[in-house]
Structure 1
Amino acid sequence: MSLNIFWFLPTHGDGRYLGTGKGARAVTHHYLKQIAQAADDLGYYGVLIPTGRSCEDAWVVASSLVPLTERLRFLVAIRPGIVSPTVGARMAGTLDRISNGRALINVVTGGDPEEQAGDGIWLDHDERYEVSDEFLRIWRSVLEGESVDFDGKHLQVKGAKTMFPPVQTPYPPLYFGGSSPRAVDLAAEQVDVYLTWGEPPAAVAEKIAAVRDKAQALGRTVKFGIRLHVIVRETSEAAWAAADELISHVTDDTIAKAQKSLGRYDSVGQQRMAALHGWRRDKLEVSPNLWAGVGLVRGGAGTALVGSPEEVAARIKEYADLGIESFIFSGYPHLEECYRLAELVFPLLPLAPQHSNGPVRVNLSGPFGEMVANDVPPAAVGEKADAPALKIAQG
């Protein structure tokens, strides 16, 4: 199976440590541009842009970075209940056109009742999924070129349509994650890629089977993806030391504040993330090379693959064997870890082909490195260091 590897744009903040302002980095457009362009050059399939009141707006960020990248896809959140399905369809179509077919849509129902109330949404968990279901029925039909009349429990439109089709047909692919029975139903009926947060492989296998079985019963096929952090170093020991360092400034008081804040969520996925660590520091490796330390202070995805390149690649392949095709990674700081994952792990993975053969390499001896003494190409892995210099004709 060919794998699609995504990176993450930290529009809610970044730094060298979690739970502290020490080593923090400002969310500037210049920094986000650096990360996006690095991911583009390194051959990542796309980037996920998060959504919520703690983040910069995903659509504005994506639109600003499209002209600064070449192949990179942008996985951007749509929020049923906050934007109308017709307007949302036009937004998706426009982003797909201006990016020449690089738009991907992440359907987010929301899991924080307090944040939902701040956005004017007064619906319980199941009602939000009802809205999402109605939203997607309208959204999909509009982008398929139909003029839509719809009279649902929550949404009603008459003559809904868009005049300009997207580049991708029938519409930009729909990604979606959720762990509740209502989420499984929605995924099976309407989305293209079902996403799970990084749980142990056995738990992920159960979720995949549930979605796949329901989709097959409806005559549909759904693809699968997973959202994880990553801490990869040249040795396992160095990777685990980096994991410990990442949370070295997290205090018990910070964990308590995070627990109180995340405890109000009605998201089943968030509850499952918290259950992995139980807010304790002493049992954070919840499966081989799967570390729950990020979730002590971070909402949403709370687990990381930790290890050497070979260990991380092995765990990725383990998830791939379950049917996972898309891997959405992040790591701290995001610029440096973006490079580490690509340089250390990409050569060990069966990656999906991109639009081009990859980044342009100036030194033809490749793959990377500085010329030795201004004359000798650096030795590649497995080559002798005293290999003769590559003669390059000048004209």
Structure 2
Amino acid sequence: MEVFWFIPTHGDSRYLGTTKGARAVDFQYMKQIAEAADRLGFGGVLLPTGKSCEDAWVTASSLISSTEKLKFLVAVRPGLMSPTLAARMASTFDRISGGRLLINIVAGGDPVELAGDGLFLDHDGRYDLTDEFLHIWRKELLGEEVDFEGTHLRVNGAKVVYPTIQKPYPPLYFGGSSPAGQKVAAEHVDVYLSWGEPPQQVKEKIEHVRELAAKQGRTIRFGIRLHVIVRETNEEAWKAANELIQYVDDATIEAAQKIFERFDSEGQKRMAQLHRGSRASLEISPNLWAGIGLVRGGAGTALVGDPETVAERMKEYAELGIETFILSGYPHLEEAYRTAELLFPLLPLDRPQGTSERQGYVSPFGELIANNELPGEVAGNRAKEVAEYAGKKNSQPPAKVAK
């Protein structure tokens, strides 16, 4: 299992649907989150894309030098850039970052936004374009010179001069719930992503995409995009979930849902069906909460509970075939720490992460007790020992002072 975090380039807050508790997302704040994710041991970070976001490529590039191991899952959008330019960008980023680029293929789901970007293809037409795009992109990064003429794209003598560090190229991540999207996934991508649907629905998608890929002679790995609200107790976690949407009123929900209705994304439609625009029954599966999707596009569900419960739910997804968990929480800086501290010790991570990478003498193990004693795993476990130690010290006669 690997766990990623999220850079909120479209805004961050303690509460949804209000300016109360909101914070500016500038470079320094994004840098804080990236450095925290890197230090805590998250395997990578997802950067969202779209007109509501700071540009993912510019942002990710600016964070390379602030991080050491962290990988960046950055969007490539067929139809908004040429495959050859995208291949050169990928090669440069991968080389400069030391092999830390992951590619998120995004076909787009909002026709109004796409029209503003000059892309007027319908839903299936965009996936046909994506298929042609990836055919060219993959061959170029394999070192081939490409001549290609399709319905949407044409290149002659296309070639990338500088090779990527990762071979054969940076891994391709992709989420598409429609038949057209799943066909593209089966033919091209390395990791198929699903938003956080109930386990049975995720299982059905995994089995179908796995079967499609097998017909192409390929194998695919799987990931899931979820929010997480983890606290030391279940009661605290559900309280935090309800507080997150406490300022979201019915008018805000209605306005958000009307915008989502214009999307032709099958994944967005599936997210909307989980709550149907109502807060009446938001726990759609054990500990899977759809409250975020009332006003947020894309990933709209969160795992809610104490560390043991959330870890167990993640392991249930893992048993279905999910290897990569792309998580986030509000606000993203604090929740990165909370997630790593509470969840990482309970998860079968694919490399040492978080507190297992302890190298300092004290930090980050906690503050010394009485300026003298290292803290234990649970403070109460050592209270008697510390008291006995203090008693022994106090019972000793004062030392003679040398004259």
* TM-score (norm. length: structure 1): 0.95
Cα distance per residue 1:271-311 (max 9 Å; x no partner):
00000000011100000000000000000000000000011
Structure 2: how far apart are the matches of 1:200 and 1:98?
39
Question: Tell me, what secondary structure is at the counterpart of 1:98?
Answer: helix
Structure 1 runs, 4 residues or longer, greater than 3 Å off: 354-361, 385-389
Equivalence for 2:361 = 363
The letter for the 2-side match of 1:45 is: G
CA distance in 1, matches of 2:58, 2:49: 11
1:377 and 2:391 correspond = no
* SS of 1:368 mapped into structure 2: coil
More helix by share: 2
Please give the alpha-carbon distance, in whole angstroms, between the structure 1 residues aligned to 2:46 and 2:324.
Answer: 12
Counterparts in 2 of 1:247-258, with a 5 A limit?
247-258=245-256
Secondary structure at the residue paired with 1:345?
A: helix
Deviation for aligned residue 1:37 = 0.4
Q: Is the 8 A contact 1:43 1:358 kept in 2?
A: no
- Superposed CA deviations along residues 220-276 of structure 1, whole A, max 9, x for unmatched, are 000000000000000000000000000000011100110111110000000000000
* CA distance in 2 between partners of 1:160 and 1:87 (Å): 10
Question: 1:218 deviation in Å?
Answer: 1.2
Deviation at 1:367, TM superposition (A): 6.0
Distance 1:317 1:358 in 2: 20
Q: Deviations over 1:362-395 (max 9, x none)?
A: 235x762100111111112495345579xxxxxx
5 Å-filtered alignment, 1:115-264, equals: 115-264=113-262
Equivalent residues of 1:228, 1:328 under 8 A apart: yes
> Which of 66, 85, 92 is the equivalent residue of 2:90?
92
Among 318, 321, 335, the residue aligned to 2:319: 321
The one-letter code sitting in structure 2 at the alignment partner of 1:264 is: R
Larger radius of gyration: 2
Counterpart contact for 1:379–1:385, Cα < 8 Å: no
1:334-353 to 2 correspondences below 5 Å: 334-353=332-351
Equivalent residue in structure 2 for 1:277, among 261, 275, 278: 275
The amino acid that maps onto 2:204 is E
What SS is found at the alignment partner of 2:336? Answer: helix
1:195–1:227 CA contact under 8 A, matched in 2: yes
The residue number in structure 1 matching 2:290 is: 292
Deviation at 1:361, TM superposition (A): 3.6
Number of aligned positions between the proteins: 386
Query: Does the CA contact (< 8 Å) of 1:45 and 1:354 recur in 2?
Result: no
Would the aligned equivalents of 2:74 and 2:102 in 1 still touch at CA under 8 Å?
A: yes
Structure 1 contact 41–359 (Cα < 8 Å) conserved: no
| Cα separation, 2, equivalents of 1:63 and 1:9 | 13
3-state SS, counterpart of residue 270 of structure 1: helix
Measure the CA separation in 2 of the matches of 1:296 and 1:146.
46
SS at match of 1:384: helix
Kept after mapping to 1: 8 A contact 2:226/2:325:
yes
Q: Would you say the 8 A contact 2:271–2:300 is kept in 1?
A: yes
2:115 aligned counterpart, secondary structure: helix
Distance between the aligned counterparts of 2:140 and 2:264, measured in 1?
31
1:14-53 deviations in Å (ceiling 9; x for gaps): 0000011110011110000000000000000000000000
Q: Secondary structure at the match of 1:82?
A: coil
- Distance apart, 1:61 and its partner CA: 0.5
SS in 2 for 1:96: helix
1: CA distance between counterparts of 2:384 and 2:350? 35
Structure 2 Cα separation of the partners of residues 98 and 360 of structure 1: 28
For 2:52 and 2:13, the matched residues in 1 are separated by 15
- 1:119-167 alpha-carbon deviations (Å, 9 max, x no partner): 0001000000000000000000000000000000000000000110000
CA RMSD of the aligned region, Å?
1.5
Q: Which of 39, 42, 60 is 1:41 aligned to?
A: 39
Q: Is the 8 A contact 1:379 1:387 kept in 2?
A: no
> How far apart, CA to CA, are the structure 2 residues paired with 1:354 and 1:101?
19
Residues 1:356 and 1:282: Cα distance change in structure 2 (over 3 Å): closer
In structure 2, what is the Cα distance between the partners aligned to 1:348 and 1:332?
22
Q: Which runs of 5+ in 2 are unaligned?
A: 390-403
